[in-house]
Structure 1
Amino acid sequence: MKILLLAFNVQEDIFPYGLSYLKGYAQRFHPETDIRIKEFSFGNRFGYDINKNIEQQAISYILIQKPDLVCFSCYIWSIEMVVKISRAIKIINPEIKIILGGVEVTENHLQESHCDYITTGEGEIALKELIDYYKGKIKLSEVHNISYLEKDQNVQNKIVQNELTKLELDTLPFPYKVLPEKKNFEAVRIETSRGCPFGCHYCYYAKHKEMRYFSLDYLKENITYLFDNYTFKNLTFLDANFNLNKERMAAILQIVADNVNKTKKKTRINLELKPELIDQEVIAILQKQPFKTFAELGLQSTDPDVLEKSSRPYNLEKVKNSLELLNTSSVLYKIDLMAGLPGDNFYKFLNSARFLLNNAKKQSILPVHHYMQLNKTTFCQNKEIYRYEKNNSSMIIKTDTQDLLDFYKIKLFVAMLNEELKIENR
């Protein structure tokens, strides 16, 4: 059996982290199965000619390889392209089976893309058991974490979060041991946990509140392998809230520090931190490291009503204290706002912007993101929120308090403000 794992990236030179999990886990049970990873980079996602060229490349690659199964990893920047490619493959060669996976995929894509399956949970289990099915070991109804059409009706098989009763995260293969061909990357990424205990309505992580962790022994062994065998300048931890557990954070960073000291590699570490959980102890842990640290902090808004509607409550005074600690530390950071959340308006946004301008003193500009409604998030059930694309994650055009003209005013204001700030900071 021959399987292709495909993904599309905006950036070049990105290690196929998620696809390597899929390949490594599947081949642990099916070592004889030919599983190949291929990623395409299209740089500027808005370039029509570039995108069409990539579509032709991908379709041609699939047809030349003659796989039994093609698995597409889908994100907000690639889902439309994947749907078109899937349709084309089914027209040219209907015998090729196709499965779409990733946070962007919904049941609507079963019909839109003409694919055979979509994943409804973590993909490692789905792919392994789908191979079991094609080898006659189990029935299709026994394959976890997938949906498919049967007599034009959607069938959703049982969802298992990483088969907790059978599988611990430590049994997953370390992705950088799965694809040993290339050893030089600008940036590498790893995860030390899965899940998020918070329930923000705009965030996909809210669907997976139960926290699961890779053990420190697993991380020590594999982070050491990464430093010993790969060349990179940036190491990004993918955890949604890296400072959720200070003791664990300190232990993981100590593993990194030991390897930085041993290999003498100049490395920058990128983390996502919960701003209200930053205290003097967290700062002390970050400052003592032999590497530069860059922290990303999501504030979104300072308005109580907006935060309540988004299920993102926090103590603003604690955030202010956290920023004071960061401002006097060696830790670099970015803290941003999200424009367009339900309940927000231009004047509430100005208050949020004023808070950051007064307190985030290390920032030379005001980072702002236009709220994009992501598939499978709680806000998808809000009937007062409208977006460009009905079935795909896309920018908001109307909420209960704003419409696209209001968002455009905010965009113009932020653009002019940041231009002034750049001049002031020259």
Structure 2
Amino acid sequence: MNVVLSTLNSKFIHSSLALRYLKAYGQAHGQAYDIVEYTINMPVLHILSDITERNIDVLGFACYIWNIEMTLHVVDMVKAVRPDIKIILGGPEVSFTADEILNRCHAVDYVVQGEGEEAFYQLISALQNGKDGLGEEIPGVRGRHITGQLMGSTEAVEVKDLSTIPFPYVEEDMIDLEHKIIYYESSRGCPFSCQYCLSGNKNTVRFFPQERTFKELQWFIDHKVKQVKFVDRTFNCAPHHHRPLMEFMRDANTETNFHLEMEPELMTEWETNILCKTPPGRIQIEVGVQSTHKKTLDAINRYNDWPYIQKAIRPIIEAGRTHVHMDLIVGLPHENKARFGLSFNDLFSLQPHALQIGFLKLLKGSGVRRMEEYQYISDPLAPYEVLTTHVLPYKDVRFLKHFEDVFERFYNSERFRTVFGYIGSKLIKEHTDTS
């Protein structure tokens, strides 16, 4: 049985960690899959032509907010010209709406919900044995029976023991991914339950074995990988796990850069000190603050102590050794244009190396999508970006879109950084003095 795994990446420089995990797990259990990656910028007919030129029995797609509409378009056309191919979807964009996807797109045969390594392997095993994978329920697998009835599991599953999942990269990848971002993870899950996000839906955090992680990081270093981007949702959630890894990164003899997503509330003097002293360019951190408004944070089940965050982050920025990227979200509950401006001023006053202004997306499966009291109106198609809220009319969203574009072009691009920073800081000070 010829199994091909695919996805539509948002850019050429991106690569799919998920597909490589599936392939590595399958290979460890005697199954062989091929990987073919495309991008959303490629013509659909070119993708269709490439797929149909291959000998494929089962075709799997990893689905995300940036590719779901185009993926379903591709899937419909593949099924139209190659009805013999079994089509399986997986990924966060379909894990919480399997029946909706199966009813909407009849070209889809199965949906794998949640972490797919074990579920996908079991489904392929069933198909190889002439079964449909639905008679004996496979956790995480939902599908369309020959009668048209939807059957199977309705749960999004997790892999409890991450040590059972092999390292996802092989030597050939280092050639194919030479000019692409290398994604990696040392843990899965999140201890928090922020209502705009899917990562903390089960509040479970699991770790890959630490000694194995050291060896894998050294493998990247030995292969002179330019950047290893950790996709751990909260890298610094467990000191026994992340501190030895950060010391390893600091002390390694390498030019490799390590990108970490860190929760500022969990940063102590230890984390601040190591990031102030690490070799320049060795580590960069992404810090999601999202808002400094307590009422907003309470509504989305998030806690931020802004004075504490400033104390932890400011020395790192001033030391200039670790690149600090900070995040805000437009459209959260109770935050109108003026209050968002205060959150922006709070973060901008630290002069981070990058300050990203994102716009709330009502992800399927997220808590905010069910919060009717905030009168959300969003784009009905992915990525479901907010258009209005109970306190933020569309004209203000549009204004903030323009502001984000200008800010990205001037500040985050590092063009006119000094002038922009000076003017911005002066305006914030004048506003504070007259308040």
Question: Which residue does the alignment assign to 1:110?
Answer: 102
**What SS is found at the alignment partner of 2:203?**
coil
Q: Residues 4 and 67 of structure 1 are in contact (CA less than 8 Å); yes or no, is this contact kept in structure 2?
A: yes
Question: Which residue does the alignment assign to 2:207?
Answer: 213
Q: Over residues 146-197 of structure 1, what are the superposed CA-to-partner deviations in whole Å (9 max), with x where a residue is unaligned?
A: 1123455433416474453xxx211211011385462634532210000001
Q: Residues 9 and 39 of structure 1 are in contact (CA less than 8 Å); yes or no, is this contact kept in structure 2?
A: yes
Aligned partners of 2:172, 2:299: CA distance in 1, in Å?
43
Question: Which residue does the alignment assign to 1:255?
Answer: 248
Question: Which residue does the alignment assign to 2:121?
Answer: 128
Distance 1:328 1:246, change over 3 A: farther
Distance 1:186 1:6, change over 3 A: closer
Aligned partners of 1:181, 1:69: CA distance in 2, in Å?
26
Question: Which residue does the alignment assign to 2:143?
Answer: 148
TM-score under structure 2 normalisation?
0.86
* Residues 1:320 and 2:310 are matched in the alignment: yes
Distance 1:348 1:38, change over 3 A: same
Out of 390, 396, 401, the position equivalent to 1:406 is 396
Q: Residues 24 and 178 of structure 1 are in contact (CA less than 8 Å); yes or no, is this contact kept in structure 2?
A: no
Q: Residues 279 and 325 of structure 1 are in contact (CA less than 8 Å); yes or no, is this contact kept in structure 2?
A: no
Distance 1:413 1:20, change over 3 A: closer
Question: Which residue does the alignment assign to 2:62?
Answer: 73
Question: Which residue does the alignment assign to 2:185?
Answer: 191
Distance 1:303 1:146, change over 3 A: same
Q: Residues 298 and 336 of structure 1 are in contact (CA less than 8 Å); yes or no, is this contact kept in structure 2?
A: yes
* Residues 1:23 and 2:16 are matched in the alignment: no
Q: How does 1:165-204 map to 2 (within 5 A)?
A: 168-177=161-170, 179-180=172-173, 182=175, 184-204=178-198
Letter of the structure 1 residue corresponding to residue 221 of structure 2 = F
Question: Which residue does the alignment assign to 1:41?
Answer: 39
Once the two structures are TM-superposed, the CA of residue 403 in structure 1 deviates from its matched residue by 3.0
Question: Which residue does the alignment assign to 2:379?
Answer: 388
Q: Residues 66 and 383 of structure 2 are in contact (CA less than 8 Å); yes or no, is this contact kept in structure 1?
A: no
**What SS is found at the alignment partner of 1:206?**
coil
Question: Which residue does the alignment assign to 2:2?
Answer: 2
Aligned partners of 2:154, 2:69: CA distance in 1, in Å?
27
- Which segment drifts farther, 182-191 or 16-25? 182-191
Once the two structures are TM-superposed, the CA of residue 86 in structure 1 deviates from its matched residue by 0.8
In the alignment, structure 1 segments of 5+ residues that lack a partner are 43-49
**What SS is found at the alignment partner of 2:78?**
helix
Q: CA RMSD in A?
A: 2.4
Q: Over residues 198-243 of structure 1, what are the superposed CA-to-partner deviations in whole Å (9 max), with x where a residue is unaligned?
A: 0000011121311100011111222222322x23211111111112
Aligned partners of 2:277, 2:410: CA distance in 1, in Å?
35
Question: Which residue does the alignment assign to 1:47?
Answer: none
Aligned partners of 1:218, 1:171: CA distance in 2, in Å?
12
Question: Which residue does the alignment assign to 1:46?
Answer: none
Out of 81, 99, 109, the position equivalent to 1:92 is 81
Distance 1:59 1:186, change over 3 A: closer
Once the two structures are TM-superposed, the CA of residue 418 in structure 1 deviates from its matched residue by 6.6
Once the two structures are TM-superposed, the CA of residue 314 in structure 1 deviates from its matched residue by 1.8
In the alignment, structure 2 segments of 5+ residues that lack a partner are 420-435
Aligned partners of 1:406, 1:203: CA distance in 2, in Å?
23
Letter of the structure 2 residue corresponding to residue 110 of structure 1 = L
Give me the identity figure in percent. 26
Distance 1:97 1:419, change over 3 A: closer
- Which segment drifts farther, 411-420 or 241-250? 411-420
Q: Over residues 49-90 of structure 1, what are the superposed CA-to-partner deviations in whole Å (9 max), with x where a residue is unaligned?
A: x54x2x112212221113111000111111111101111111
* Residues 1:294 and 2:290 are matched in the alignment: no
Distance 1:420 1:234, change over 3 A: closer
- Which segment drifts farther, 151-160 or 306-315? 151-160
**What SS is found at the alignment partner of 1:175?**
coil
**What SS is found at the alignment partner of 2:199?**
helix
